[in-house]
Amino acid sequence: MRKIVLMMSTSLDGYIEGPGRDISWHRVDEELHRHFNTYIRGLGGLLSGRTTYELMAGYWPTADADPDASPVEAEFAGIWREMPKTVYSRTLERADWNTTIVREVVPEEVLALKRQEGGDLGLGGADLAAAFLRHDLVDELRVYVHPVLVGGGKPLFPQGLAGAASETALRLTGSHAFGNGVVLLEYERRR
């Protein structure tokens, strides 16, 4: 069965966005971007909320046509366009680039998606991730900790995330430090 893998970048103090939705502090250099390209290329699909989808759709579909795009950015543009995507939104009317719109997180539908053939599914977007975690649908977490303190904003994990459980047990399965100071922490849920 495919796994749902939460993939998020966070500041050292636990925020995915600084005040005013600022993400300029993300330290994505060529090494880290190449890592993203390699990992995401192997996935069977991407699951995101509307905000994350619109942020990605606002740049990546044509990024490889930008003469200022680096080769690794141009490569990711093709990966993103071709990757099957599911966007969870109650308001989005249409989505392009191999994207399906789903209105609600329905656990039975997500489990059916996991049973389909193909690679694991990458999950992005804090609000959507919180919904998946509350329904106990996340199998693994890949948290990219950036070496910066932003002091406030949107937290990766809102309070009360575990739902009925008082805690969510995780097992560290890997870690990697990139040259720019970003550290990848890989966890799986204990069932």
Q: What is the pLDDT of residues 129-177, one digit of tens each?
A: 999 988 999 999 999 999 999 999 999 987 765 544 557 789 999 999 9
Give the pLDDT of residue 189. 87
Q: Is the pLDDT of residue 120 over 90?
A: yes
Contact of 8 with 156, CB cutoff 8 Å: yes
Mean pLDDT of 17-30: 92
Per-residue pLDDT tens for 86-118?
A: 999 999 999 989 999 999 999 999 999 999 999
Mean pLDDT of 116-133: 93
Alpha-carbon dihedral sign for residues 50, 51, 57, 58: positive
**Mean pLDDT taken over the chain:** 92
Closest C-alpha among 20, 26, 47 to residue 154: 20
pTM attached to this predicted model:
0.91
Give the pLDDT of residue 158. 77
Closest C-alpha among 145, 151, 53 to residue 94: 53
